[in-house]
Amino acid sequence: MRTLATVSTVLIITVLISGPALAYVGPGVGLGVIGAIFASIAAFFMMLAGLVWYPVKVALRKRREKNAAAQAAATEGASVEATAAQPTDTPSAE
C-alpha cells in the first residue's frame, strides 16, 4: 500500500510539473481525432437507442402475438357456432 501511495504521488507531481509540449498537430491527425470523437459519440447514442428499442420491440411482439391468438380464438369460436347453427337435415330434391 505504501508503494502505491509513493507511485501515485510521483505520478501526480510529474504531471503537475511538466510544461507544454509545444507540438504541432497536423490536419491529418486532427481530422482523425475529430472523426474518432464523433464516432464514439454516435456509438454511445446508438447504444442508448438500442437499450431503449429492444424492450419496446419485445413488448410489441408479445402484444402482436397476444392479439393474433385472441383473433384466432375468436375466429375459431365463430366458425364452430356457424357450423352448429346450420341444419343437418336438409331436404333432398327427390
Closest Cα partner for 63 from 51, 74, 71, 73? Answer: 71
CA distance 43 to 41: 5
Q: Is residue 63 part of a domain?
A: yes
What residue numbers bound the domain in which 78 lies?
Answer: 46-82
Q: Report how far Cα 69 is from the mean position of its chain's Cα atoms.
A: 27
Q: Is residue 13 part of a domain?
A: no
Q: Is residue 32 part of a domain?
A: no
Q: Is residue 88 part of a domain?
A: no
Q: Is residue 37 part of a domain?
A: no
Q: Spell out, as residue ranges, where the chain has pLDDT lower than 70.
A: 77-94
13-24 residue pLDDT tens: 998 998 888 888
pLDDT score for 22 = 82
CA distance 70 to 57: 20
22-33 residue pLDDT tens: 888 788 988 999
- Count of domains in the chain? 1
What pTM, to 2 d.p., does this model score? 0.45
pLDDT score for 5 = 93
Q: Report how far Cα 26 is from the mean position of its chain's Cα atoms.
A: 38
Q: Which residue has the cell 442508448?
A: 48
